[in-house]
Chains A and B, each alone.
Chain A
Amino acid sequence: MSTDTRAAPETAAPPRGPVRVERRLPRFALVGVYLAGIVLGAGLSALTGFSIAAALVYGVVLGTLGVYLVTRAVQGRRKATDRLVTSLVTTAFGIAMIPLISLVWTVLDKGLARFDGDFFTMSMFRVVGEGGGAYHAIIGTLVITALATVIAVPIGLMTAIYLVEYGSGRLKRAITFFVDVMTGIPSIVAGLFAFALFTLIFGNDARLGVMGAVALAVLMIPVVVRSCEEVLKLVPNEYREASYALGVPKWRTVVKVVLPTAMAGLGTGVTLSVARVVGETAPLLITVGLITGTNLNPFDGRMATLPVFAFYQLTQPGTATQAFIDRAWTAALLLIILVMALNVVARLISRFFAPKTGR
């Protein structure tokens, strides 16, 4: 390799003439060099006991290097740097794909074992070994998330309306800034806040579904505000002015003109904010806890939720370890499906309910 690099510039010196003709490498040559690098890498990894990971790493490094050196020899340094960056950037994207594919594959692989009817219809009440399901956790997640949505959406939407329609000056700037800052609150801190708030009333041992809902609402509000604000800003000012010109009061303009126009976007934003919190584990872990039976009342005692259920099934398995681990993975699979479904629903809302603009 090292001899190549030194020899390359000498042979590459382009003939100096009145007109410089650019020498180009055909595309197949580059692909060929890259593939040769990969094969060489596979061979290299075979020397030290073959593994796919090592082969890929060696191969990509050698392929990139090969393309760089060949281009440098034929087309010069600038073009070679360009090609180098192209391969680096593409590799970066490829690297990011590895965990995504691996994760989805693993969860599908391990989660499908218990993806059956029992999982959706049975709770863990008096189940110590195999069998059982997450019915109670699914219901709990739905109840708590719904409650959080009921708390967060009105506050978030009204704040967005204030920011877009009414706000001005220092208060608007402060709210915008702190809503942005609030997006960064760690979920566990939101949980601690809900805990500290409710211990004032119920004492140190309180674990209630509504505590979890408050914690989730704290996480949800900034997301709702931001997305609703963006959507409301998109409503053309002509609509508002037309309404004012007809003598409609401002609040009726907002309720009857602005909000219906933005409805699709608002629906998308709210759905995405639900997707953001439905998989939150940490705040529920410390505020809601876990039980084995079904509890539908968020104002009375602990509830089971899907993420916490998954966490405890994995980390505190009982005697029949494999049954617990299987249930944990199925719960994880269900969580991913839930979040993905919410994302898809959000996209469908924005596609099908978008206002018909005549422009």
Chain B
Amino acid sequence: MTATKAPIETPSKQPPVRRPGDRIFAGTAKGSGIFILLVLAGVAAFLIGEAIPALTAPSADIPGGEGLAGYVGPLILGTLLGAVLALLVATPLAVGIALYVTYYAPRRIAAVLGYVIDLLAAIPSVVYGFWGLAVLAPALVPFHVWTAEHLGWIPFFAGPASTSGRTMLTVGLVLAVMILPIISAIAREVFSQAPALHREAALALGATRWEMIKLAVLPYGKSGVIAGAMLGLGRALGETMAVAIILSGGAGATVNLISNSNPSTIASNIALRFPEATGLGVNTLIASGLVLFLITLAVNMLARWVVNRRADFSGAN
């Protein structure tokens, strides 16, 4: 053993020179990275710390008087309802948009069209709230009435139809518009990366454009679309201002999408109540924020895991 080891060790003679400048710079860089991990841990720690009073308080002291679960439960329901509705609307649209931009639009304007869709992501959420309240909600009132009349037997459309349009349905659609660019950006990236050889082989076999996409592009892009959808879900779950402005919420747990009494969402409830909250109310709101943090963390980690299984694209861009 020693005989074979000796000749290998000789070339790696003296240790490389480590200048102090190098050490300081590398240390600062590494420290910044570790600091980010600490911040994330700090977010969790501080939220837990501030939430503990609400977790341990007797249930009668929690606002609403039904304990923390009774307070947060309907909010969780509202959050999930709005986000899932948004996801159901946005995902097929986003896939369609991504396909259009990558394979259908004329080559010269495709980049511009992609940029235009990205503009949707640049608009601040409070402006989406304004638009939803002033334009979309009134515009959707006839649709509310129609669904209440014709689809009233489905619990989601039980009615009575709202006359203002400030319902979970409107919120879901606004959220769908907001997460559209996120999903379509990732879908676009994976679709455009589908191997050219597969696509050309499909076309050479006489496939139509749709058959080529079905055979070569969609199977390749599937995990990217799923990851994009989950990132969109994470965004929709945490969306605050648009929901706070549009929804006339705060009435118990119901899955009715079109009536005036909707469960609020966690984020919008915090935004609306926090400025006036005192004492245990603050702790309760932070506890609900902790729940939201954990839900979005789980969704995002799952999405990142799906993205990272395919290491060739980042998903964050």
Contacts and interface: CB of A to CB of B under 8 A. Distances in A.
Interface in A73-93: 78-79, 81-82, 84-86, 88-93
B237 interface: yes
A187 interface: yes
A285 interface: yes
Q: How large is the interface on B (under 10, 10 to 19, 20 to 34, 35 or more residues)?
A: 35 or more
A196 B47 contact: yes
Contacts of B105: 93
Contacts of B130: 106-107, 310, 314, 328-329, 332
Contacts of A251: 19, 21-22, 24-26
Interface in B85-101: 92-93, 95-97, 99-101
A165 B29 contact: yes
What interface size band does chain A fall in?
35 or more
A319 B208 CA distance: 63
Interface string A176-200: 0111111111111110110111011
Interface stretch (B2-10, B58-66, B155-163, B291-299): B291-299
A174 B37 contact: yes
A352 interface: no
A285 B316 CA distance: 27
A335 B124 contact: yes
Contact of A178 (B40, B93, B213): B40
A163 B33 contact: yes
B289 A189 contact: yes
A180 B315 CA distance: 9
A314 B133 CA distance: 10
Given A184-B231, A336-B127, A175 B97 contact: no
Contacts, number: 283
A251 B37 CA distance: 23
B35 interface: yes
A347 B21 CA distance: 35
Contact of B104 (A86, A275, A311): A86
B286 interface: yes
A166 B30 contact: yes
Interface string B271-305: 10011001100100110010011001101110110
A338 to B, nearest CB: 9
B127 A332 contact: yes
A326 interface: no
A314 B129 CA distance: 10
Interface in A137-196: 154-156, 158-159, 161-163, 165-167, 171-172, 174-175, 177-190, 192-193, 195-196
Nearest to A272: B122
A103 B122 CA distance: 12
A158 B139 contact: no
Given A158-B28, A165-B29, A183 B316 contact: yes
Contact of B46 (A186, A193, A335, A340): A193
A250 interface: yes
Contacts of A222: 36
A95 interface: yes
A79 B206 CA distance: 11
A252 B21 CA distance: 8
Nearest to B117: A96
Q: Would you call the interface of chain B mostly helix, strand, loop, or mixed?
A: helix
A186 B240 contact: yes
Contact of A106 (B36, B135, B238): B135
Interface in B233-285: 234-235, 237-241, 244-245, 267, 270-271, 274-275, 278-279, 282, 285
Contacts of B37: 174-175, 178
A93 B316 contact: no
Contacts of B289: 188-189, 192
22 contacts: A86-B209, A93-B105, A156-B32, A158-B29, A158-B33, A166-B30, A180-B304, A181-B40, A184-B234, A186-B240, A189-B43, A189-B238, A195-B50, A196-B49, A226-B314, A230-B314, A251-B26, A281-B124, A282-B271, A332-B126, A335-B124, A335-B126
Interface of B: 19, 21-22, 24-26, 28-37, 39-40, 42-43, 46-47, 49-50, 92-93, 95-97, 99-101, 104-105, 113, 116-117, 119-120, 122-131, 133-136, 139, 177, 180, 184, 208-211, 213, 231, 234-235, 237-241, 244-245, 267, 270-271, 274-275, 278-279, 282, 285-286, 289, 292-293, 296-297, 299-301, 303-304, 307-308, 314-317
Interface of A: 53, 78-79, 81-82, 84-86, 88-93, 95-97, 99-100, 102-103, 106-107, 110, 154-156, 158-159, 161-163, 165-167, 171-172, 174-175, 177-190, 192-193, 195-197, 199-200, 204, 218, 221-222, 225-227, 230, 249-252, 254-255, 275, 278-282, 285-286, 289, 307, 310-311, 314-315, 328-329, 332, 335-336, 339-340, 343
